[in-house]
Structure 1
């Protein structure tokens, strides 16, 4: 009897399990069919959007190209090349698609909500793309020449792009979290310090760009030197965060834009505009080779064209000075006034520069003594060439020193090549 009751209970249990399985199996089949229907509708909806995108894109491109070719303006060509009108063409298929969402998915409210969010995000991204392309076009139009306003335009445009990207990201966050934009902005107040830290270089670069544009300190194309980084070259780009400088060895060095106004920067552009360049180099003479010139030496120098009149005039002045004071110059060399070989050479070098066709006579020109050192007396030449071109400048400078170094022998002057030990080690 117990055995029969047990068999009956097992049978009832099996029957119930079979019924549950049939119900679950029926629900799975129904959900599978619904899923296939949704996937099919989404695919069909996507194909329609792709076709609309293709039609509108080609149509807008064809129409805009005809208009651009019929005008003589440059700015519309730049807008077309930067695909600004292509971004506008995306709005039409997306707007039609947004209208068709409800008719297509009328029975699926959840799908409608998600698709509307996706379309809202796509609209934000297209607006962002449109703004960036417009800003790039404006930058190309406004920076056709290398001038100081170029820096301000680049700084403003890059800052505007960064702000646009951040603003669009905040809108997307607001869409995904179902909050308004003010709520999202309020929540960012807690991380303001972090944001400022992240965008520190950007803020400093923007301020630097505005200052350089307003004060006309540096522009693209200027030849500059930054002693802090031991850099000398031509500025090829100044953007929001960094400046690129092409060195004379054709390497590129990038420095923070802020350093262009916060550190010492030498700008050679004014020199290039005046088409002059300074020579400031010295010859080191051995002091042991300095001596007073006797009458025999003076006779020799009186035949040198550049200093002939100088020696005659100076000798008459010295003879008069010694005669008035009854100074016997035959006793020793230091009695009275006498001409020296270094003094005559200094005058010769000055006259040589004054008559050199490649040396500017309208700028400062002098030959002077520097402070004596244990290694000799430096005689410095300070003048300007009448060209700022590097190759010609170096040729002129080399020819001047070729002549003077050789001419020094005629004045019995010894050019020393000794350098301080520290300087020698520094060169190596």
Structure 2
């Protein structure tokens, strides 16, 4: 906008000077105005480009010097997200704005439209500057331990959406010249369509707030969601999606809203508790369960983990049977030890002596209801190492030992007959 008589005189003088030069060349009067416009535009482009490149180099150099003198990484992220590059555009923009009256002196009818476009560009440039700052803040906070498990991406995305909304509002008022109230009136009329179009974004926004407030999921949590085939670590929480890196290194993307509408399992409690559960049973062949004779007890006393138990229990049982005058010629009379009972005590003592199990958590060896495939003897305990590989190794070592120990108690593990068993049986019949 021309603000003084001196500026008007300067612009007129420049145009007269250029027009005289063009007339001397012999150009027709009809195209002098267009040729002047072309010359001014070429000069403007050169000035803008040179100013932008110089400003960019100076600002980048300033930022690099600042980075070398500071210990914080925030300025590194500002440079990474091209904040100096965006700021360097401000000076060329001001040059263009100030030169519009000069360039379009002969075409005053287009000046309002050009100024409108420059106003819109100013708004867009402001968006890019603020977005660079927000992204720098996001990446900087991710380097802090206290924010590593927080959904920073969701917060930034919400702020960016608000930024875009404000920018859209400003662009609307710039293009139409109407008030903000008129914009909201139009928005109210179109609200049903907007809700339909942005349904996922709105649901994701609400879900993201609920997930954060209720502390349902953090970055780094191991979650399992069978509906989406997700079983792994959360690597990103955004406004609309949660990314899970499965243990096979595939990525599963889950809508954020589904975390509050569907069921999923979060293993964070296990990790923070420091113990991972083992819940597995071996199935004992029921026909091998029996009472222990004196010879059996004498043999099993050599097993160090249960020798004290057998001595104490045998004395207790003999005293009880003696007081009740029990006929001991038949083992079923009175109280007696069984191989399955002693085996259960052995497993319990073995688990207590295992340094890889968590002594502060539940540790039980229990019988479950007998099934067609035997008597389940379940081990329910917790390892003191929650890492998957270590957990699997500890559990395998325990059951390796238990399966090998079964035969010492004259017990057998139930297993379905294999084809070799049938062939062996048939060969004995035919022999």
Distance 2:160 2:189 in 1: 24
Residue aligned with 1:219, SS: coil
Deviations 1:224-252 (A, max 9, x none): 22344343211111111111111111111
Distance 1:257 1:146 in 2: 24
Distance 2:189 2:384 in 1: 62
User: Equivalent residue for 1:339?
Assistant: 337
TM-score for both structures, normalised by structure 2: 0.83
Provide closer, same or farther for how the CA distance between residues 329 and 229 of structure 1 changes in structure 2, counting only shifts above 3 A.
Answer: farther
Matches within 5 A, 1:370-385: 370-385=368-383
Paired residues of 1:170 and 1:184 also in contact (CA < 8 A): yes
Residue 361 (structure 2) pairs with residue 363 (structure 1): yes
Matches within 5 A, 1:217-366: 217-331=216-330, 333-366=331-364
Residue aligned with 2:150, SS: helix
Deviations 1:266-319 (A, max 9, x none): 333343344332211110112122111222222211221111121222222222
Matches within 5 A, 1:110-129: 110-129=109-128
Deviations 1:2-60 (A, max 9, x none): xxxxxxxxxxxxxxxxxxxxxxxxxxx87666545444443333333223222332333
> How far has the Cα of 1:376 moved from its partner?
1.4
1:387 to 382, 385, 388: 385
User: Equivalent residue for 1:138?
Assistant: 137
Distance 2:299 2:359 in 1: 29
2:394 to 389, 393, 396: 396
Deviations 1:337-368 (A, max 9, x none): 22111111101111111112222222221100
> How far has the Cα of 1:401 moved from its partner?
0.5
Deviations 1:351-410 (A, max 9, x none): 111112222222221100112222211111111222122222211111110111111112
> How far has the Cα of 1:82 moved from its partner?
1.9
Matches within 5 A, 1:23-172: 34-145=33-144, 147=146, 151-172=150-171
Distance 2:149 2:86 in 1: 26
Provide closer, same or farther for how the CA distance between residues 237 and 102 of structure 1 changes in structure 2, counting only shifts above 3 A.
Answer: same
Residue aligned with 1:151, SS: coil
Deviations 1:124-152 (A, max 9, x none): 11011011101101111222135567535
Residue aligned with 2:377, SS: strand
Unaligned runs of 5+ in 1: 1-28, 420-428
Paired residues of 1:278 and 1:385 also in contact (CA < 8 A): yes
For the aligned residues, what is the CA RMSD?
2.5
Distance 1:200 1:347 in 2: 60
Residue 187 (structure 2) pairs with residue 193 (structure 1): no
Distance 1:416 1:340 in 2: 18
User: Equivalent residue for 2:20?
Assistant: none
User: Equivalent residue for 2:14?
Assistant: none
Paired residues of 1:52 and 1:93 also in contact (CA < 8 A): yes
User: Equivalent residue for 1:21?
Assistant: none
Distance 2:306 2:90 in 1: 85
Paired residues of 2:149 and 2:220 also in contact (CA < 8 A): no
Deviations 1:312-341 (A, max 9, x none): 22222222222222222424x432222111
Provide closer, same or farther for how the CA distance between residues 49 and 182 of structure 1 changes in structure 2, counting only shifts above 3 A.
Answer: farther
> How far has the Cα of 1:83 moved from its partner?
1.9
Paired residues of 1:148 and 1:219 also in contact (CA < 8 A): no
Unaligned runs of 5+ in 2: 1-27, 418-431
Residue aligned with 2:208, SS: helix
